[in-house]
Amino acid sequence: MKEIGEALKEARESIGITIEEAANDLKLKPSQIENIEAGNKDAFQDVFYLKYFIRDYSKYLGLDYEDMIDEFNEFLFDYTSKISLDDIKKAKKQVLNNEKKEERKVVSPYTYEKQNKLKISPIIIYILIVLILVVGCCFVIKGLDNNSPKENTTENIIK
């Protein structure tokens, strides 16, 4: 990483551009340019942003940015291949803990999302309603049949 930073610094100084001018033109902070030139990758939260900063800075200085990116990728491979499994496990635990913390939201009455405890499909509800209506209609019709006067049967005539 230091070699990349030194190459960028030499190119900038040979052109006669100040750090402030480069930062202003690239819409970066001067401290970011200084950290890139110093090879300080720890000053950046994400190595992918650093990669794009190096690419843009190389283009700006008229250097072959693809060679710079290839060199950065080699550095990144060497750096990441030296990370121990314990460090990877710790990082994974931190990510999981952060996800759990993010899940805990502050709930207000205005943002509260109601959760259905009993998940019944609407189709089942419609089928139950139709069944209840059919059974109710059957009882009504049966009741009307029992209350209706009988036709002239022999029992009605005798009475």
In a domain, 45, yes or no: yes
Domain count across the chain: 1
In a domain, 132, yes or no: no
Confidence (pLDDT) at 74: 83
In a domain, 10, yes or no: yes
Confidence (pLDDT) at 135: 92
CB 64 within 8 A of CB 58: yes
| CA dihedral for 100, 101, 106, 111, sign (positive or negative) | negative
User: Which residues form the domain of 59?
Assistant: 2-81
Q: Which residue pairs from 57-64 have beta carbons closer than 8 angstroms and sit at least 24 positions apart in sequence?
A: 57/8, 57/22, 57/26, 57/33, 58/8, 60/22, 60/25, 60/26, 61/8, 61/11, 61/12, 61/15, 61/17, 61/22, 62/11, 62/15, 63/7, 63/8, 63/11
In a domain, 68, yes or no: yes
In a domain, 98, yes or no: no
- In tens, the pLDDT along 12-71 reads 888 888 889 888 888 888 888 898 888 888 888 878 788 888 888 888 888 888 888 888
CATH number assigned to the domain comprising residue 55: 1.10.260.40
- In tens, the pLDDT along 70-109 reads 888 887 777 667 667 777 788 888 877 776 665 555 555 5
In a domain, 60, yes or no: yes
Terminal-to-terminal C-alpha distance of the chain: 115
- In tens, the pLDDT along 99-153 reads 666 555 555 555 556 665 667 788 888 999 999 999 998 888 887 777 665 555 5
